[in-house]
Chain A
Amino acid sequence: MKTPLLLCILLLTLSAAGFAFQWPVENPVLTATFCENRRNHFHGGIDLGGGEQEVHPIEDGEIIFYYTSDYRSSQLPTGLGNFLVIEHPRGIRSLYAHLARDPFDFVDYGVEKGDVLGIIGDTGASQGKHLHFEVADKELRQLANPMRLLPELPDRRAPSINDIRLVPGEYNGRRASEIPVSDAYTPKSGGSIAAGVWTVLMDVYDLSEYVSYFCPMSPYRIQVFLNGQMARSLVYDGLGENEARLEFIQATEVSFANFYLNDWLVNLGAITIPQGAVMLEFVASDYAGNEASRLVSLNVSGR
């Protein structure tokens, strides 16, 4: 509980102080958000398209690591392509990946906001030119959601809740692939279910406003209310290490392995549904505060 609190304090402090982080590109075309499904891991940052733009540091700092895909045998294969990491004050480190080839030609390693780090490219595991951008807190050993630190982007489109399913039983901490989706019940108003523990699955995404093609992204917050009381809440603020896995810092035990059932169907965890008339509300929010919700009234019978 301590580390989520610390990250929240950090985020609030940085926000309140009006910390002048700037977008790493002049024209931020957001195409992927934090914690999306990357097949075997959470997306640890955001993606920015917009063509071959210059990439700038989000704040003054010092380059502490760089990688270029040259022929040296000691380097590890990396899907990040050409990338570099900058250390800023207060223990914040920012990472800029998939930069165009041979981007690094520094006289010294101190950088200022106006400096050009490179050009958006498609080196590494990339299916188009984009900047993959991450922020880490080295003291807390957490990945922070960059969207919470960068200036807000205008966005008028609410997330899309595509499907909600309830699976009998508790599947917290289990591999998502073990959840029997075939047993799932799709709640509809007026429907009946048995009282007890149900695992909530939600198919949800937020469509990017910045590109003309279909570009789904993760929302920022998902909540489940049971008779007006919050029963589950998942906020995409950061990822921290627990044992051998990265987990949501505000919802420990939610790791990649037990969260994603497919691209956008996520396991929100178990809730206990009591007998009687029950109102369930499912809410998804994006970074600009746009909300989508579904309200379902159920008749819940005894077990």
Chain B
Amino acid sequence: MKWSIPALFFIFIIYLLFFPTQLRPEFFMRPSWTIDVSRATVYDRGQLPDISVVPFDLGGLFGYVSTDGKLLLRDQRLFGLAIDAKTYISFSSVPEELVIRDNGGRVIRSIAASGYPILLDGRLFLISTNRAGLAELAGGQIPRWEREFASVITDLDSRNGFLAVGLLDSRLAVIDEIGTVTLELDMKGSRINAVYGCALSGDAQKVAVIHGIGPQYLSVVDIAGGAAGIIDYGLETEFRTTRYLRFFDSDRFLVVEEKDGLKVLDLDNNDEYAVSSEGSFVSAGAIGSNNLIWVIFAGGAASELVIIDLPGRVVMRTAVAPGVAAFSQDDQILLGIGEILCMAKEEIR
């Protein structure tokens, strides 16, 4: 008996040595550089041809910065801004013409304005100022296709050559590259029928739709399956404005805005996870090729940046300044606060 306690302790030590408890890797974002956009030197884009660039939009100032911290373009936005890694269009509230520029600020072309520009998945769309018409621009002045609706457009998403259009009159339309409606569904089943959000999967084979009030549903539609391929999820909270909804991580996860955070649906395992926040959802994006996403919430006690290892593990949660904006590029995240840009890179130890 007197040897039993030391013996058990010895066995426990041996067990720990041979079967150590695996600690979860600690995730953090290491700042790479910081610049003050209003004061930083603007480098000539022409002298840095192969540089990797990230667009930023700080509300007033916008532009491009290289991943190693060189400011490549700085401009002041007008009423609105459409920007992606290659091109941008800053436009007034009543635009006469739209000037499309490359990420070095050079004019690519000008077009007569027939709406506000939206850059989605490398495509340039125009949404009419009454928010009831759409057109896609390719090379010339004449749109590749145009379409008018007798309804307010509530949301758009473009993937793999297709465009999903959500309409307040409860229709969801999927439009191909030449403007043909390849799928139109009337999302009914609620006391009030309307579409509040839509998202296409990366391969455009699935479309997710948030629709209705009383109750509000999230429906995932297998496009090939048509109406037979619809899976409905009831949502506990209801939005009466556009509600964020996007596919992530090879379309396995659907991220849905909630009033107190967000919800992640694991479509493969039919599970759902909640990530709470005191603030309201502002924006989200993927980091690198892992299952990581960043999310900005604003309001409440403070704005916060949350990094989630999908489906639902929060690996970092940090308070950020109000009005912070975030943009991701590969495994890096660019944070904009006021007129300061800070690039941070994910690290795991």
Contact = CB atoms under 8 A, between A and B. Distances in A.
Interface in A123-177: 124-127, 136, 138, 141-143
Interface size bracket, B side: 35 or more
Interface string B151-182: 11111100000000000111000000001000
Nearest to A134: B130
Contacts of A38: 129-130
Interface in A56-73: 62-68, 71-73
A138 B156 CA distance: 20
Q: Is the interface of A mostly helix, strand, loop or mixed?
A: loop
B131 A76 contact: yes
A256 B59 CA distance: 35
Nearest to B157: A74
Given A65-B152, A66-B240, A74-B155, A44 B132 contact: yes
A237 B228 CA distance: 38
Nearest to B280: A72
Given A65-B194, A141-B151, A77 B127 contact: yes
B213 A44 contact: no
B321 to A, nearest CB: 13
B153 A76 contact: yes
A75 B156 CA distance: 9
B282 A64 contact: no
Nearest to B283: A73
A197 B238 CA distance: 57
A244 B165 CA distance: 14
B293 interface: no
A79 B148 contact: no
A67 B132 contact: no
A203 interface: no
Interface string B93-107: 110000000000000
Nearest to A75: B242
Interface residues of A, number: 45
Contacts of B243: 74
Interface string B277-290: 00011110000000
Interface in A223-271: 239-241, 244-246, 255-256
Interface string B247-286: 0000000000100000000000000000000001111000
A121 B348 CA distance: 51
Nearest to B129: A79
B114 interface: yes
Contacts of A76: 118, 127, 131, 153, 155-156, 242
B240 A109 contact: yes
B128 A241 contact: no
Given A40-B115, A136-B150, A71 B323 contact: yes
A85 interface: yes
B10 to A, nearest CB: 58
Nearest to B245: A74
A142 B169 CA distance: 10
18 contacts: A38-B130, A40-B114, A40-B133, A63-B240, A64-B192, A74-B155, A74-B243, A74-B257, A76-B127, A77-B82, A77-B118, A78-B129, A79-B93, A80-B131, A93-B168, A125-B129, A136-B150, A256-B148
Interface of B: 59, 80, 82, 93-94, 114-116, 118, 127-133, 145-156, 168-170, 179, 192-194, 196-197, 213, 240-244, 257, 280-283, 298, 323
Given A63-B240, A241-B148, A256-B148, 12 more contacts: A40-B114, A65-B240, A72-B280, A75-B241, A79-B129, A79-B130, A85-B152, A85-B168, A125-B129, A138-B170, A241-B149, A246-B149
